Amino acid sequence: MQLNHAIPISAPPSPRHLWAVLLAGGDGLRLRGLTETIVGDQRPKQFCPILGPRSLLSDTRCRLSPLFSLDRQAFVLLSAHESYYRNELADAKESLLIAQPANRGTAVGIIAALLQIMQIDPDAITALFPCDHYYSNEEAFRSVVQSAIKGAEQFPEFVIVVGAAADYAETDYGWIEPAELISQSADTPLYRVTRFWEKPTLPQARACLKRGCLWNTFVTVGRAATLLDLVCSEAPNTVLSITRALADSDLTPTYDELPFVDFSRDMLANQANRLLVLPDLCSGWADLGSPDRVLGLLANNSNQPAWFRRTHGARGEAMR
């Protein structure tokens, strides 16, 4: 395994209605000890060079740059993190920096981004990307994203979620149970979704693994209007509050009153009938949500960053 630190590829002109939302508004509490080791401060993991010379946010941008034009990339952020992202996102449109005054969960940031995008492009097809993922085969990942976009174009009334093949009974991931095949193209098949579990119990996770369920990667694609309708079905008051706040150009009073809303737990798990799942079997997806996952990934990698070699030895001896 070798980490990819290639120079960003300039994006070709993307289809007029194709947008990406990069989710970089988390607090990164579980990796705080690791980020302190790497950079000496408590910055969230998405702004930290964990896997190499670039931050995870920059890695995500580089991974997506062949697919999405810069002027069609929105960033969900926290105002409190501005010192970490100001220089990194200096080339991004100010209107596409969704700087939230507080973290009220992934769904709230996604709602704000969707509303902003739809003001610009009501016909947008929008793809959601967390900024704490790793892919051993980025070309395969981009192929999956392109297939998901085609699926959203073919089935505009559905939201496409990308599921990775499960190796063990992980309780920290969401699980997706595929139903019948709805489309078989030259790329990747699409399935209806029987059920979506967000962070199940261990017995539930074992049952999911036995039934061939997939891990939810959180990569999600759909028409912006379809995504917004899905979240509105579960949190209409939140959508209305953020709409009004964006119109007033002042999010702070609204965010002070908003509940915490999680996109996977509160939206996807309750709207399985509106989802299609696209299996990702080749990209080598890994979620960098815990120190153990990060250290395990790097211990098996032939291209280890300097901080890891310094703290764990060239082959990760300290982990044994």
Sole residue written with tokens 């976009």: 149
Longest Cα–Cα distance in the chain:
55
**Range 139-157 burial, b when 16+ CB lie within 10 A, else e:** ebbbbbbebbbbbbeebee
What CATH number does residue 212 fall under?
A: 3.90.550.10
> Which has the higher per-residue pLDDT, 259 or 3?
259
Q: Is the residue at 6 inside a domain?
A: no
Task: Give me the pLDDT at residue 132, please.
Answer: 94
Q: Is the residue at 218 inside a domain?
A: yes
The model's pTM: 0.91
What average pLDDT does the segment 193-219 reach?
96
Q: Is the residue at 2 inside a domain?
A: no
Q: For residue range 63-99, list pLDDT tens digits in order.
A: 999 999 999 999 999 999 999 999 999 999 999 999 9
Domain residue limits at 171: 18-312
Q: Is the residue at 71 inside a domain?
A: yes
Under a CB-based contact definition with an 8 Å cutoff, are residues 297 and 34 in contact? no
Task: Give me the pLDDT at residue 62, please.
Answer: 96
Q: Is the residue at 10 inside a domain?
A: no
> Which has the higher per-residue pLDDT, 102 or 315?
102
Task: Give me the pLDDT at residue 187, please.
Answer: 62
How many domains is the chain built from?
A: 1
Q: Is the residue at 186 inside a domain?
A: yes
Q: Is the residue at 320 inside a domain?
A: no
List the single range of 130-139, 222-231, 290-299 with lowest mean pLDDT: 290-299
Task: Give me the pLDDT at residue 131, please.
Answer: 96
Task: Give me the pLDDT at residue 207, please.
Answer: 97
Q: Is the residue at 104 inside a domain?
A: yes
Instruction: Inform me whether the pLDDT recorded for 1 exceeds 70.
Output: no
CB atoms within 10 A of CB 90: 7
Q: For residue range 134-145, list pLDDT tens digits in order.
A: 999 999 999 999
